[in-house]
A and B are shown apart, each in its own frame.
Chain A
Amino acid sequence: MLRRRAIVGGLAAGAVAASPVSALAKLLAVGRRPSETFTLANGLQVVVLPSSRAPTVTQVVVYKVGSADEAPGQTGIAHFLEHMMFKGNAGGEPIDFSRTIARNGGRDNAFTGFDTTGYHQTIASDRLELIMRMEADRMANLRIVDKEVIPERQVILEERRMRIENVPAALLDEAVREQLFGRHKPYAMPTSGYPDDVKKTGVNELTAFYRKHYAPNNAVLIVAGDARPEAVRKLAEKYYGPIASRRVGPRRRPTEGPGDLPQRVTRADARVVEPGWSRDYLAPSYRVGETRHAYALQVLARLFGGSETSRLWRSMVVDSKLALSTSAGYSASSLGLSSFGFNVHPAPQRTVAEIERALGDEMKKLLDGGVTAGEVERTQNQLLAAAVYSQDSLASGPRVYGTVLTTGGSVTDVDEWPQRIAAVTPADVLAAARHVWRDDGSVTSLLTPAAGTR
């Protein structure tokens, strides 16, 4: 199963089946955290998520750009630019972004995904103005210089060694993506970039990429925590308001897979001790493909393989003992196609053929017999409970809104997520499984030990 970042709603706890219907109603009645949204004249969308738990505030700016927006031969540039955002000379003055945040008692970080690049800071709420001023400054005034790019390139290559080249499963993941989405296509090119591309990325390329994608009308500002919406609006007008909007081109994503599936990928690696088996299917997202299946697929993933009481776990770990663990995963929040994946960690001495037969039987059982109203309802309760718990975390609101709003979704999509999950029927789940579980949309992969030096 492919590695993923933020998943809307998440897969966490469970909920209430003693009287499932009333329990569902109770969870829905809890409601979502109060949010307020508005858009500045220059197109910057702003979301405020107030909470009085701690005297701290979190600012997140997400840009509608990620590694899936890169051109072949320029892989890794979205991530490279994310690093340079901490180093550039803004407004002609040297900045030291993170040091200034830390000097004020805060912490900051950033991330790059396939569809999203995000920057976040958490700090005492009386320093909100400082971080809004600084973030707005680097949205408009970043200057990238050679002196900073040269050592940072080495840092980025070290990051790739740590996350990818040192990790056999991550190398296999890259190979699977190339098969599933098609070589040199979005979601196949690694976010960390191919080393050859990273080595030839310099000031000119980075600056051009920044100018092309970093603009208020291509970003979302999210402020969560101890802040009043009126105060946020005033500060947003003051610091982000003057930044001119810019014409931003459309974001292109393929609507179909490469057309030569199914494929198999094996990575035999001397460093591997425990084998791993996975299968990934191309799947619709909220935006691309048969999008009507997007909510039912979330229920399907949880019901079929999302916990230790799921069908797959009970069948392969508890009953037949073919596997030490199993899982299923799906994320609908993608601007392009998504994937639906299974992981199986085979028990010792078990063969790939046995694993594939058992999984196939379990899938067929579902495709032939469908799912019961009871198991769908239990699964919905679990998904909705996870949404309640996410209200208990200050970090989770910005994460969810940031993901949805940079992948073509709206605030309404976030707020109505529980109702839409609750509306999924057993027939919807079956239709979604029939649509996605097709051999001609899959890549099966195996990670296996090989002779040689570990």
Chain B
Amino acid sequence: MMKFRGLLAPLIGMAVAFGGTGAGAVDVKEITTPRGLKAWLVEDKSAPVVALSFSFAGGVASEAKKERGATSFAAALLTDGAGSSPSQAFRTRLEDAAASIGFSASSDRLSGSLRVLTATRDEGFELLRLALTQARFDSDMVEQRRGQFISSLNQESQRPGSVASRTLTDTLFAGHPYASDLAAVREGLASLTADDLRRRAKALLVRDGLLISAVGDIDAAELGRQLDRAFGDLPQGAAQPLPPDWTPPTRPRTVVVERGVPQSSVQIALPGIARDDPDWYAASVMNYILGGGQQSRLFNEVREKRGLAYSVSSGLRTYTKASLLVVSTGNANEKVGEAIRVIRAELARMRSEGVTEAELADAKTYLSGSLALALDSSGSIAGILQSLQTDKLPRDHLDKRAALIGAVKLDDVRRVARRLLRDEAMTTIVVGKPVGLTSDP
């Protein structure tokens, strides 16, 4: 039984110094391959392993209405047979190379990863080339994945936390492509054909907007050769169109979805802050103090003092065209009302009083160091680099991040708290059987 889970601040960036004590920097190189692809590389010979993280511009939100569901569906099929190898043969080749290749879609991007041993690197990159350029979309695999996708949507509808997340996006993004639009997705999953999926993959898998990060036992020249092999044949193409701007809500709203569970899942959302906003670091500090860890105000007030929850946290979420601050918790049905009151009171207190010098200092220390703690494996480091690239941060961001966090002042936090923590923009989602709580009409 883990004591805590998923409570750490979902911030992107990497620290190179710990509270001023100094530690080794991460050396990120940028390479350009002979065929003109760009990539970030961290060479690291700790293990005979190479990890690649990459993404294409365009995700679920760029789907046309009639092809809802196609991005994730197509992504799954990229590793279900390619070139002359049908699914079982392709998977056997992957296993025999001790390689894994995976794809997944978010609202704004289609992401992929490769992990392979030094000894089987050629075969790993060759299989990636086949997946990217010659996926088969065989009808038996299309049907197998269709059945699994429909079933997993059904399973999600069993989980209060998943239902709360989906209800939150559907409430906030109603009419915008960031809404999950479940009915259309179900229709799409039922009717999309192999040709539809092939077309969707072709539209997404282009060099325009492609970002690549590599970590592990490989040098720049060899990486260049391997990337040219895997990605060089993709067409230049054009990145998918961006979604329209999002208009945040201007009045509070509560939505209750009834489910027969003893513990309700609760999400409270406010409009957040864009990643390139000058106040991003002040907002990160504020979020950490509010609900970013095991010593946050919410953790202390909701869990430690009152025992109202096992898990309570807040996080900043960013999309290309939207941003949110979301507080999540789970409470016994009869305690939901009290928990929500305590959370709202803490948001109001931070808005009116800001934070203390001591809280600010602690937050800076933690946030400066937190990313180095995530340097666990080649794959996790490649993932961090990929996030930096997606956020359009410079390669030396790793060297600058501690200073950016260190420069945040009390007044900055107060200003950003006043800007973000506004009752009139609050959306509250509860999934369960909360006592004394109903949806707004």
Contacts and interface: CB of A to CB of B under 8 A. Distances in A.
A52 interface: yes
Nearest to B263: A161
B307 interface: yes
Contacts of A150: 307
Contacts of A393: 376-377
Given A104-B365, A347-B147, 10 more contacts: A16-B96, A16-B120, A30-B48, A98-B294, A110-B3, A124-B19, A155-B310, A274-B158, A385-B117, A453-B259
Contacts of B158: 168, 271-274, 454
Interface in B226-269: 258-263
B20 to A, nearest CB: 10
Contacts of B68: none
B155 A151 contact: no
A427 to B, nearest CB: 24
Interface of B: 1-4, 8, 15, 18-19, 21, 23-24, 44, 46-49, 51, 87-88, 91-92, 94-100, 115, 117, 119-120, 140, 144, 147-148, 151, 154-155, 157-160, 216, 258-263, 293-295, 303-311, 330-332, 362, 365-366, 368-370, 372-373, 375-379
Contact of A55 (B24, B91, B306, B365): B24
A154 B262 CA distance: 14
B21 A126 contact: yes
6 closest Cβ pairs, A-B complex: A14-B95, A154-B307, A105-B369, A55-B23, A385-B98, A124-B18
Given A109-B2, A271-B158, A273-B157, A158 B310 contact: yes
Contacts of B295: 96, 98-99, 102
Contact of B370 (A96, A105, A161, A382): A105
B309 A166 contact: no
A382 B148 CA distance: 25
Interface in A1-29: 12-18, 26
A107 B158 CA distance: 32
Contact of A151 (B15, B307, B331, B362): B307
A106 B144 CA distance: 44
A74 interface: no
Given A103-B366, A154-B307, A453 B372 contact: no
Given A163-B1, A345-B151, A388 B95 contact: no
A327 interface: no
Contacts of B4: 109
Contacts of A155: 303, 307, 309-310
B88 A381 contact: no
B315 to A, nearest CB: 15
Contact of A388 (B49, B51, B311): B49
A274 B21 contact: no
Interface of A: 12-18, 26, 30, 51-56, 79, 82-83, 86, 96, 98-99, 102-113, 122-127, 150-159, 161-163, 165-168, 191-192, 270-274, 307-309, 314, 317-318, 321, 324-325, 345, 347-348, 378, 381-382, 385, 388-389, 391-395, 452-454
Nearest to B48: A30
A54 B24 CA distance: 8
Given A102-B294, A388-B117, A392-B46, A16 B97 contact: yes
A392 B49 contact: yes
Nearest to B329: A158
B47 A271 contact: no
23 contacts: A16-B96, A98-B295, A102-B366, A103-B366, A105-B368, A107-B373, A124-B372, A153-B307, A154-B307, A161-B310, A163-B1, A167-B159, A271-B259, A271-B260, A272-B158, A274-B158, A318-B144, A324-B144, A382-B98, A389-B115, A392-B377, A453-B259, A454-B158
B308 A104 contact: no
Given A165-B263, A392-B377, A53 B115 contact: no
Given A103-B362, A165-B262, A395 B48 contact: no
A158 B377 contact: no
Contacts of B15: 105
Contact of A159 (B1, B24, B306, B368): B1
A106 B330 contact: no
Given A153-B307, A309-B88, A102 B362 contact: yes
Contacts of A309: 88, 91-92, 95
B373 A158 contact: no
A402 to B, nearest CB: 14
Nearest to A165: B262
Nearest to A152: B307
A324 B369 contact: no
Contacts of A271: 158, 259-261
Max chain B Cβ within 10 angstroms of own Cβ: one of A18, A51, A53, A325? A53
A347 B303 CA distance: 42
A182 to B, nearest CB: 22
Contacts of B95: 13-15, 17, 307, 309, 378, 382
B49 A389 contact: yes
B89 to A, nearest CB: 9
Nearest to A382: B95
Contact of B98 (A82, A113, A388, A395): A388
Contact of A13 (B47, B87, B98, B378): B98
Contacts of B87: 318
B403 to A, nearest CB: 15
Contacts of B92: 17, 309
Given A161-B332, A388-B47, A324 B97 contact: no
Contacts of B294: 98-99, 102, 108
Contacts of B261: 165-166, 271
A274 B155 contact: yes
Contacts of B19: 104-105, 124
Contacts of A168: 158
A103 B94 CA distance: 44
B289 to A, nearest CB: 11
B396 to A, nearest CB: 18
A153 B310 CA distance: 10
Contact of B91 (A53, A123, A308): A308
Given A51-B46, A96-B295, A124-B23, A348 B94 contact: no
A14 B1 contact: no
Given A53-B375, A325-B148, A18 B260 contact: no
Contact of B263 (A30, A109, A162, A318): A162
Contact of A56 (B216, B308, B375): B375
Nearest to A345: B151
Contacts of A392: 46-47, 49, 51, 216, 377-379
A163 B6 CA distance: 14
Max chain A Cβ within 10 angstroms of own Cβ: one of B4, B330, B369? B369
Contacts of A109: 2-4
A151 B294 CA distance: 16
Contact of A154 (B1, B21, B260, B308): B308
